[in-house]
Structure 1
Amino acid sequence: MKKTAILLLLAFTSLAAKAQITTPQPSPLSTVKQVVGLTDVTLEYSRPAMKGRIIFGDLVPFEKLWRTGANNNSIVTFSTDVSVAGKALKAGTYAIFTIPGETIWEVNFYTDTNNWGTPKSWDASKVAATIKINASSISEKVESFTIEISDLTNNGANLSILWDKTKVVIPFTVPTDTTVIASIDKTMAGPGSNDYYASAVYYLNSDRDINKAKEWIDKAISMAETPAFWQLRQQSLIYAKAGDKKGAIAVAKKSLAASEAAGNADYVKMNKDSLAEWGAK
């Protein structure tokens, strides 16, 4: 009997496992990724369908907070700071909550994205930006709720919400021009202190042209407003390897004083050891 009971249990478990059915979601999840200028923009939202229903003013009431889609929050992510309809918005991820009106919609970018539907308690401190946008009527019905990124330029695009015969276009701009100009200015100005420092240390540690390393470390130190003790330490090592013991000792003493002031015992010891090795008095 016991064996029979076990066999029946195994058979029931097997049938139960096979009975699991996967069906399509009524509001399937959509993910949209788009590069706008130099900014990565990502949309994640669920797409309910009309199914013969009257949408705005009925299924979605006017003048009430709407999740702007279905299921989990509809969210947008910007990899850089942007401006949405003239309102500044920091880089990050935001839930999109709207209050649809017959002619004007209020759009809120909300920092809490972990809601099923609208938040149980609306927190104004979590609203990163609020804008009001005109809604327009379109000729062709859009069966499935849609959020799209359209009308791309180097400096911006439109975040468009479409459903039924309603369209809401939210323009946003990205800092492409500012980013490119800053990059051009930096490149045309030549290497910075960190570039010279990193190159010099690499040459030191990889046994390359030590005189070139000495030239670069000198430039790095001269460009630094207050050279750090660890930068001076590397300069002293490069000087020593280049055969300039006198210069190495002078720089090591500076690094020792700076490391003592910073309370860094490791660098204090390393500098003292090197000074002793180089015959400092």
Structure 2
Amino acid sequence: MKNFILITALLAAMTTHAQLQLPAQSPSAIVKQTIGLTEVEISYFRPSARERIIFGELLPYKEFWRVGANAATKITFSDDVLVDGKVLKKGSYSLLALPESNTWKLNWYTYTSTDWNDYVATEPVLQLQLPVNTRDKPLESLELHFQDITLDSATLLLEWERTLLKIPIQVQEQEQILKRIDRTLAGPSSFDYYFAALYLHESQTDLETALKYIQKVTSSKDALFFQVSREAFILRDLGKIAAAKTVAELALELSRKAGNKDFVRMNLKIINQ
């Protein structure tokens, strides 16, 4: 009985300690930065030097390091980018470094796991050879951050102790931006008119204006079944029954071609009425 009581007490003590929350020695951090139109997010853990010599001693040269602590560092790009002039497709990546005194190899892997060891035997999608810069003052905790941000580029800095690496990142969005400018300055698109008509109709705000907007869409031979159907619904609600029936017959044909049974039923209802 005494042994049972002792074991129970030990288990209770272990549970209590497991629930104890203490400051992390290597706290997590998330860095977010927009470069042009591209969103970049870095998730990593920040170890501290704590009076230790890091590179060459705590982290031996020419041995893989996960560029952080606890788990694999993760960096995500919302669009394709150029990293040190090399193409990196949009997506999430993990980093492994091979530090040396004067240069580092920085390997980029498609992110699949929080365990950095999973990447060691894997072929990187990108490998960089970067020169090591020296900081004037030592930095206590590992830091990844951006500077020199322009409309289409930024520099990702990796800093710890007296080591500083600069990773140039560039986005190629000029063509995409110019197309957006041309599209916007050309005026509203057919879908802009469609959604405006949809709102005015569903809210019963202004049916005449809703009809004017939807007819800007349906006047095109490329109008879709749900757009032509919307014109029929608006005409019906305006009491323009003959016109509603004519448009509904066209919408019925388009809905059947599209295989949309819901719109087939709705247009048949208008025609039968």
* Equivalent runs, 1:206-225 vs 2, <5 Å: 206-223=203-220
| Distance 1:222-1:17 versus aligned 2 partners, 3 A rule | same
1:33 shift after superposition: 3.1
Aligned partner of 2:98 in structure 1 is 99
- 1:142 alignment partner, SS class: strand
Q: Which residue of 2 aligns with 1:251?
A: 247
Task: Give the drift of 1:8.
Answer: 7.5
- Of the structure 1 ranges 208-217 and 181-190, higher mean CA displacement relative to structure 2 is found in 181-190
1:271 partner letter? N
Give per-residue Cα distances to partners, 1:217-251, cap 9 Å, x unaligned: 1111235x522222211112223333443432222
Residue 48 of structure 1 is matched in structure 2 by 47
Q: 1:134 to 1:16 in 2, by over 3 A?
A: closer
Counterpart CA distance in 1 for 2:54 and 2:64 is 14
Please state how far the C-alpha of 1:72 moved relative to its aligned partner: 0.2
Q: Determine the C-alpha separation between the residues in 2 that align with 1:94 and 1:44.
A: 11
Distance 1:274 1:181 in 2: 44
C-alpha separation between the residues in 2 aligned to 1:33 and 1:237? 46
SS state at 1:163 partner: strand
Q: Which moved more, 1:16-25 or 1:103-112?
A: 16-25
Partner of 2:86: 87
The secondary structure found in structure 2 opposite 1:49 is: coil
Instruction: Verify: 1:235 aligned to 2:231, yes or no.
Output: yes
Instruction: Tell me if the contact between 2:74 and 2:111 (Cα under 8 Å) persists in the aligned partners.
Output: no
| Residue aligning to 1:75 | 74
Q: What secondary structure is seen at the aligned counterpart in 1 of 2:219?
A: helix
Is 1:149 aligned with 2:143? no
TM-superposition CA deviations, 1:143-172 (whole Å, max 9, x none): 332222222333332111122322110011
Which residue identity lines up with residue 77 of structure 1 in the other structure?
A: T
Identity %: 33
Which amino acid is the alignment partner of residue 201 of structure 2?
L
Q: Which ranges in structure 1 are unaligned for 5 or more consecutive residues?
A: none
CA distance 1:247–1:33, shift in 2 (3 Å):
same
The alpha carbon displacement at 1:130 in A equals: 2.9
Output the CA distance in 2 between the equivalents of 1:260 and 1:120: 52
User: Conserved in 2, the CA contact under 8 Å of 1:56 and 1:62?
Assistant: yes
The SS at the match of 1:152 is coil
Q: Which residue type is aligned with residue 196 of structure 1? A: Y
Distance 1:143 1:210, change over 3 A: closer
User: Does the 8 Å CA contact 2:244/2:270 hold for their aligned counterparts?
Assistant: no
Cα offset, 1:14, TM superposition: 5.5
Matches within 5 A, 1:256-275: 256-275=252-271
Contact 1:200 1:214 in 2 (8 A): yes
Letter in 2 for 1:97: L
Contact 1:71 1:117 in 2 (8 A): no
Tell me if structure 1 keeps the 8 A contact 2:143–2:159: yes
- The change in CA–CA distance for 1:158 and 1:209 in structure 2 (over 3 A counts) is same
- 1:178 CA drift (Å): 5.6
Residue 132 of structure 1 deviates from its aligned partner by 2.5
Q: TM-score, normalised by structure 2?
A: 0.82
What are the within-5 Å matches in structure 2 for residues 31-180 of structure 1? 31-119=30-118, 122-124=121-123, 127-174=124-171
2:67–2:97 Cα contact (<8 Å) kept: yes
1:206/1:98 CA distance change after superposition, 3 Å: same
